[in-house]
Structure 1
Amino acid sequence: MSPEQTARDAADLALRLLPVAVHAAGARRDGESQGQYLERVRALAVDLWIESGPRGELTRRLTELMSSQVFVGVLTAVEIEPSTTRAMLTLDVVKDGETVEESIRSDRTDSPAGRTLWETARTLVGHRVAVYKHMESRADPNKKYRCAKHVVDLGPAGDAADEATAPAGPATPRSAPAAPTRSGPVPPAPARVTPAQAIRAASPRVVGPRRQGSLADARQEVLAVLERAGHTDAGYREAACAGIMDRASVSGDVVVNLDTLLHLARTTPPANSAAGRMINQRYGRHERMTA
């Protein structure tokens, strides 16, 4: 690339980053000169550019999430593994109509990403969650292990009948325990989990994914959600849909994690973002035709 082209690209990038950096910087501080304010804005713009570049931490995390698999279950316990400082998440997951216990570790909690996930997960014990599972290599590249990279709250676990009829939405605080009934007392609310003392919570009643559908119906619903989310480019919607459907869990011809797929559609990044360009590059029509 010629120096002239590099300068033009940099100027175009500056025009797009400057409003964001000005908004993030806020107004001039008391006693701050115009030159000091502009330098603060420039520093923020450079930080934003680095974050969105191929070596940025945000780019690295989004790359991990885009290559992750997503599974849904009820989070029953969060513990700290003393030997590694990683958070150990235990979930009850429905597989082939049966409830099984799954465990998955996070990144080390002495890292920002690992600590953030642990702090989020410990507040969601007793909730249905979607866990983004990434396969990472050990020292031996032929051996890999599962690592939880992100957790999404799908709401408190409840009765199967309630789950089947209740609309999806943000989680609400758990209500106080009800008075004992003839069938016995209501289990207590999960105990607070701390790094020093990991406390196993009472297991709530397990429920499966709320919605199911055929592959064709699931794909149409994902496309519709992408369009409602404001993704106007049909080619990008197709690419994003292809990436989302790659994460479908299928039993026969039935998609059993439709809720998770629709959540991914609602949170798909814009086409002109760094993550959006990666989606287009990986799942775009040309890529699929030549794969």
Structure 2
Amino acid sequence: MDAADRLSLVAAAATSLGPIEDPSTFAAKVRDRAVELYLMSRERGAVGRALEQLDECRTYVATVLGGKVEHHPLPDGGELRRGLVRLKVAASKYNRDGVEEIRTELLSTDEGAALWARIRGLVGHRVLVYAQTEEKDSRKVKTMRHVEDLGEDRELARGDAA
């Protein structure tokens, strides 16, 4: 880490704390916060991993049509659950009808639960989808990593009224 990166990290840590009168207490708290921020940003940290995933995503515009919880039974009797989101996308050779399904992270994770809650409130909205395609068990799997709300899809509302 060079001097500029170090200074940026210390500045971020200090501003996140707000005012602290005692200089020795302030320095100790800045040190602790700077260490937390640094560890979060590393590749193996939660924030670092999320940033790496976003770097690998492709983005596209779609409309959220709805979704459901997908259940995957486990041999031990448990189950894994993911959100399965239905999107209206541009028609293509892969989605001739212009409808695509994409999965969220596991709903048992903070990231998966937060994204699923957000998606449920975006039905009928145009969104910018951040999707990562990975190979698992010799097949390609697309996972939604993030979504940005672009507002209500007025064309969809007119099409439903017709």
Please state which band the TM-score falls in when normalised by the shorter chain. Answer: 0.7 to 0.9
Q: Structure 1: which amino acid aligns with 2:122?
A: L
Q: CA deviation at 1:11?
A: 5.4
User: Quick check: 1:103 aligned with 2:107?
Assistant: no
> Residue 61 of structure 2 aligns with which residue?
72
> Residue 76 of structure 2 aligns with which residue?
none
Q: CA deviation at 1:109?
A: 1.5
Any conservation in 2 of the 1:81–1:87 contact (CA below 8 Å)? yes
Q: CA deviation at 1:115?
A: 1.5
Q: CA deviation at 1:21?
A: 0.7
Within the candidate set 147, 150, 153, 1:154 is matched to: 150
**Alpha-carbon distance in 2 for matches of 1:101, 1:11:** 50
> Residue 197 of structure 1 aligns with which residue?
none
> Residue 77 of structure 2 aligns with which residue?
none
Q: Helix, strand or coil for the counterpart of 1:51?
A: helix
Q: Structure 2: which amino acid aligns with 1:153?
A: D
Any conservation in 2 of the 1:76–1:204 contact (CA below 8 Å)? no
Q: How does 1:196-207 map to 2 (within 5 A)?
A: 204-205=157-158
**Alpha-carbon distance in 1 for matches of 2:158, 2:87:** 12
User: Quick check: 1:63 aligned with 2:76?
Assistant: no
Query: In the comparison of the two structures, how many residue pairs are matched?
Result: 149
Higher RCO (C-alpha 8 Å, min separation 6): 2
Q: How does 1:1-291 map to 2 (within 5 A)?
A: 9=1, 12-28=4-20, 34-83=23-72, 84-95=80-91, 99-138=97-136, 140=137, 142-159=138-155, 204-205=157-158
Per the normalisation by structure 1, the TM-score is 0.46
Q: CA deviation at 1:134?
A: 0.8
**Alpha-carbon distance in 2 for matches of 1:130, 1:204:** 19
Does the C-alpha gap of structure 1 residues 50 and 153 become closer, same or farther in structure 2, counting only changes over 3 Å?
same
Gap runs ≥5 in structure 1:
1-8, 160-202, 207-291
**Alpha-carbon distance in 2 for matches of 1:65, 1:91:** 19
Q: Structure 2: which amino acid aligns with 1:155?
A: G
**Alpha-carbon distance in 1 for matches of 2:116, 2:39:** 26
**Alpha-carbon distance in 1 for matches of 2:7, 2:108:** 37
**Alpha-carbon distance in 1 for matches of 2:51, 2:31:** 25
Gap runs ≥5 in structure 2:
73-79
Does the C-alpha gap of structure 1 residues 204 and 89 become closer, same or farther in structure 2, counting only changes over 3 Å?
farther
**Alpha-carbon distance in 2 for matches of 1:132, 1:12:** 30
Does the C-alpha gap of structure 1 residues 16 and 92 become closer, same or farther in structure 2, counting only changes over 3 Å?
closer
Does the C-alpha gap of structure 1 residues 67 and 13 become closer, same or farther in structure 2, counting only changes over 3 Å?
closer
The CA deviation string for residues 125-146 of structure 1, in whole angstroms up to 9 with x for no partner, is 00011211111233x3x23311
Any conservation in 2 of the 1:73–1:129 contact (CA below 8 Å)? yes
Q: Structure 1: which amino acid aligns with 2:63?
A: V
Any conservation in 2 of the 1:18–1:45 contact (CA below 8 Å)? yes
Per the normalisation by structure 2, the TM-score is 0.78
Any conservation in 1 of the 2:68–2:83 contact (CA below 8 Å)? yes
Q: Structure 1: which amino acid aligns with 2:69?
A: I
Higher share of residues assigned strand: 2
Q: Structure 2: which amino acid aligns with 1:121?
A: I
Percent identity between the two aligned chains: 30
